[in-house]
A = this chain, B = another copy of it.
Amino acid sequence: MSPPRKSQIVPEVPFDKDGVHCGFLRLFHSVHRSAYGFIPIPIAVFRNGTGPTVLLTGGNHGDEYEGQIALANLVRSLDHTRISGRVIILPMLNFPAAMAGTRTSPIDEGNLNRSFPGDPDGTVTQQIAWFVANELIPLADATVDLHSGGSSLMYIPSALARRQADPDRAALSLRLLKAFAAPVAYLTAGGQGTGHGGTLSGAAATHGVVSLGSELGGSGTLTPAALRIAERGLRNVLVELGILPPEDRVPAEASTRILEVRGAQDFVYAAESGVYEPLVELGDTVKAGQPAARIHTPETPWREPATAQFLGDGFVLCKRVPGRTMRGDCLFHLGTDTGL
């Protein structure tokens, strides 16, 4: 097997020196407006003594803000003399998307979290994925990739992790999930007929690295409550990993309810195009067959709306935000209790 091809991205910061190192990943991009320019992806490396390495990322999707701000705040507030190990922080991972406030990159329409493991000679988004998968994840013992629902979805603030076959990794995964201390957490098998290939967590799994995720809110906005959960979760994960001392743990108001998302039966999709009216709210408990939403066609107001139903029982974890909806759009997804 040939060695992985080399990324063309040049980091301005060292990964192996103690101290705080702030700068940019230089992703060279030769275009009409700038022949020899680079895309400056911000990065901060905190390193002190020995200990594990954690990779913290936000802005994987550009319209998800809790992670971007919590990580920027962490860059300004983390005291590197208190840590044992290394913290690598990238608050705007898909930089072009994050600057535009869009899920996907305005340069190449790439959805970074469907682009792993990427391509070192590919599009801008593929180059970012390749660098993360081949040059950052191999340095890490754990990754935390902070997401929210983005412009089209709204979540009950949640942490999430992939189901792990390996018992040690499963145990660490569950410990981190609980340490994050969001009101809700869920386990997912990845994909399950919903096209979720190409994710950062999948790339971490390929390298045997435990990955934690979050869905902290959504609707393309940032809320004070979700930001507090993100900041507490980051601190507590650093404590749980032993990078920060135990006294830095931020206590939670309540224990985390741990759910799972099983697969297609937990999703409701729009069967028609039109204006979507939800019939339940986030946090509701629903039954199979219960009406979930109506799709209206006010361009023909005298026509009856179509109705969508839940396929199974569960807890409403996520709902679609935008009123205008097309056939095939996800309207809701549920979680079901695990007893973990």
Asked if residues B68 and A298 are in contact (CB atoms below 8 Å), the reply is yes
Asked if residues A8 and B197 are in contact (CB atoms below 8 Å), the reply is yes
Q: Which residue of B lies closest to A269 (CB)?
A: B38
Asked if residues B149 and A35 are in contact (CB atoms below 8 Å), the reply is yes
Given the known A-B contacts A31-B111, A111-B31, are A277 and B69 also in contact in the complex, defined by CB atoms under 8 Å? yes
Name the one of B28, B275, B279 contacting A69, with C-beta atoms under 8 angstroms: B275
**What's the nearest-Cβ distance from chain B to residue A232, in Å?**
16
- Tell me the residues in window 291-340 of chain A with beta carbons closer than 8 Å to chain B beta carbons: 296-302, 304, 320-324, 326-330, 333
Taken together as a complex, chains A and B put the C-alpha atoms of A30 and B273 apart, in Å, by 17
Asked if residues A38 and B328 are in contact (CB atoms below 8 Å), the reply is yes
A205: CB under 8 A from chain B?
Answer: no
**What's the nearest-Cβ distance from chain B to residue A42, in Å?**
5
Asked if residues B327 and A40 are in contact (CB atoms below 8 Å), the reply is yes
A91-124 toward B: CB 8 Å interface, digit per residue (1/0)? 1100100111111100011010110000001000
Asked if residues A328 and B63 are in contact (CB atoms below 8 Å), the reply is no
Taken together as a complex, chains A and B put the C-alpha atoms of A197 and B6 apart, in Å, by 11
Asked if residues B298 and A71 are in contact (CB atoms below 8 Å), the reply is yes
Q: Which residue of B lies closest to A106 (CB)?
A: B32
Name the one of B28, B69, B198, B298 contacting A296, with C-beta atoms under 8 angstroms: B69
A220: CB under 8 A from chain B?
Answer: yes
A153: CB under 8 A from chain B?
Answer: yes
Asked if residues B91 and A298 are in contact (CB atoms below 8 Å), the reply is yes
Asked if residues B32 and A328 are in contact (CB atoms below 8 Å), the reply is no
Name the one of B24, B34, B220, B327 contacting A329, with C-beta atoms under 8 angstroms: B34
Q: Which residue of B lies closest to A297 (CB)?
A: B72
Given the known A-B contacts A65-B323, A194-B36, A322-B33, are A42 and B279 also in contact in the complex, defined by CB atoms under 8 Å? no
Where the two chains meet, the residues of A that have a C-beta atom closer than 8 Å to any C-beta of B are 8, 10, 22, 24, 26-40, 42, 44, 58-59, 61, 63, 65, 68-69, 71-72, 75-76, 89, 91-92, 95, 98-104, 108-109, 111, 113-114, 121, 149-153, 193-198, 219-224, 227, 264, 267, 269, 275-281, 296-302, 304, 320-324, 326-330, 333
Jot down 22 A-B pairs with beta carbons below 8 A, ordered by A. A22-B301, A29-B195, A30-B114, A31-B111, A32-B63, A32-B150, A33-B151, A33-B152, A36-B329, A36-B333, A38-B269, A63-B323, A63-B324, A69-B277, A71-B301, A101-B323, A220-B321, A220-B322, A221-B323, A223-B281, A224-B281, A227-B277
